[in-house]
Structure 1
């Protein structure tokens, strides 16, 4: 397996290019500001979304209703959904990738309500696989195309075969470094820095509507979101979820054992 390529995310953003662009672009400035934190916190903190009234902070756990909940936070401020990619929004919400200087005081003082979401590892693994390699929709998919081929990916052999390849690829990347493994693929305990970040609430995608009512009520926005907004979903996969084989189920449990233990999935 050692000769097969994997794509690894860089651990540091302190590159000459980022330093040169930081004075002119908030994205690069935020990256450098986050370098003050330990490596295992930089990725999670970069995924915080904050409401414009600074009352609610949502830490995006990738492939766990991130787009839908971020859109709700935008609606909370603007009274409408964002018409383009919410993860690039420059108004209506504060994204840590652009506005860490606004989010950091709220985060460090714990003056806003901080929450995140988790998801059943089987469903999340399948979602990551289909988003990148079946629907072919993720903006970062090109980083993983050749490495997945090295591991045996072949569109002609069908989704079940290629999901096995995907699990091999994820396991291989995790063996090298979990922190450099794509946040779309790695265990959720890394994505939310479980045990190192003090959350007010950790909800579940499986109980999303009920959890969102609790979250907004506890954050001081009782009554939001209204019923019709609770059912809105964004960025859903177009591929139906195939039943996993017993061998695939066992493999998912092995790779994501820490998620099963930390978040109580059976």
Structure 2
């Protein structure tokens, strides 16, 4: 299986396991900058050079060799499951993608037909009942993850522990798991542990949010989207994420972690 979703600087200073919707665009650009002294011109996910990626055939033996010898500092980044799944809904379900089309072609029409989800459109200012539609989307997300119907689960709303775990199962070991909610603090700790060709000043790094601006804005506080049934579904899908990465399941309005991540626990529970 290898190391899907793993990126590495060409200087091999650091390995990063991408978790979708967890600051991955910003992290990728920081890694690119640390090697080249400039940012990639465009969405870092489209970069075919300047960064080793598991999706590129020529990078796979280099990444594999590095993981096995543990030559590089390895890290990943996680996010509160409540805000992450909300972000996935607004970006991938409601938003118009960079190519001017809906995400994954016929998926949104399927959601509208089978689950009664509304998404609005730019012409009506994305005017729709966000809370009702999001809760119906959550049913769909649960169905894809639990039963793989009506389609396979998507990387943007599948559990973070699944993404993080593939790296461990195949022989990798993390030196750090950082939180999106404490990004500068966590990313600075990563940078303090590695030597890069170019110095990175985090205070001067812009946030590369490639999903921003092509969909509706969230109209309500996070907690308004989650009633008792929604929280039950979230627990079913993301229970392990809350436990391992120390987020507050009982209060959707609290996006901040409530404990310290235990790396030994993460490796033990995700290494099966």
TM-score (norm 2): 0.74
**CA shift for structure 1 position 119:** 0.2
5+ residue gaps, structure 1: 1-36
* Structure 1 residue 142: Cα displacement: 1.8
Q: Would you say the 8 A contact 1:133–1:141 is kept in 2?
A: no
- Aligned alpha-carbon RMSD (Å): 2.5
Aligned residue number for residue 114 of structure 1:
74
**Which of the pair is proportionally richer in helix?**
1
Cα deviation per residue 1:237-259 (whole Å; 9 max; x = unaligned)? 33433322433344323321111
Contact 1:217 1:223 in 2 (8 A): no
Deviates more, 1:120-129 or 1:141-150: 141-150
Matched, 1:141 2:101: no
Corresponding residue for residue 155 of structure 1: 119
What's the counterpart of residue 241 of structure 2? Answer: 259
- Once the two structures are overlaid, the 10-residue window that deviates more, 105-114 or 178-187, is 178-187
Alignment of 1:59-78 (within 5 A): 59-78=17-36
Distance in 2 between the 1:67 and 1:127 partners? 14
Structure 2 residue corresponding to 1:240, chosen from 214, 217, 220: 217
* 1:89 matched residue in structure 2: 47
- 1:180–1:205 CA distance, 2 compared to 1 (3 A): same
- Where does residue 204 of structure 1 map in the other structure? 179
**What is the rounded CA distance, in whole Å, between the counterparts of 2:41 and 2:196 in structure 1?**
24
Would you say the 8 A contact 2:138–2:233 is kept in 1? yes
Aligned residue for 2:87?
127
> Residue 139 of structure 2 contacts residue 233 of structure 2 at CA under 8 Å; is this kept in 1?
no
Partner of 1:17: none
Q: Is 1:53 aligned with 2:17?
A: no
CA shift in 2, pair 1:222/1:54, >3 Å:
closer
Answer with 85-94 or 209-218: which moved more.
85-94
Residue ranges of structure 2 left out of the alignment (5+ in a row): 121-127, 249-272
How far off its partner does 1:88 sit?
Answer: 2.1
CA positional deviation for 1:220? 2.9
Partner of 1:189: 161
Return structure 1 stretches of 4+ with deviation > 6 angstroms. Answer: none
TM normalised by structure 1 equals 0.76
Q: Which residue of 2 aligns with 1:34?
A: none
Q: Deviations along 1:96-148, whole A, 9 cap, x unmatched?
A: 11121221111121111111001000110011111112222277432522331
Give the secondary structure class of the aligned counterpart of 1:114: strand
Secondary structure in 2 matching 1:115: strand
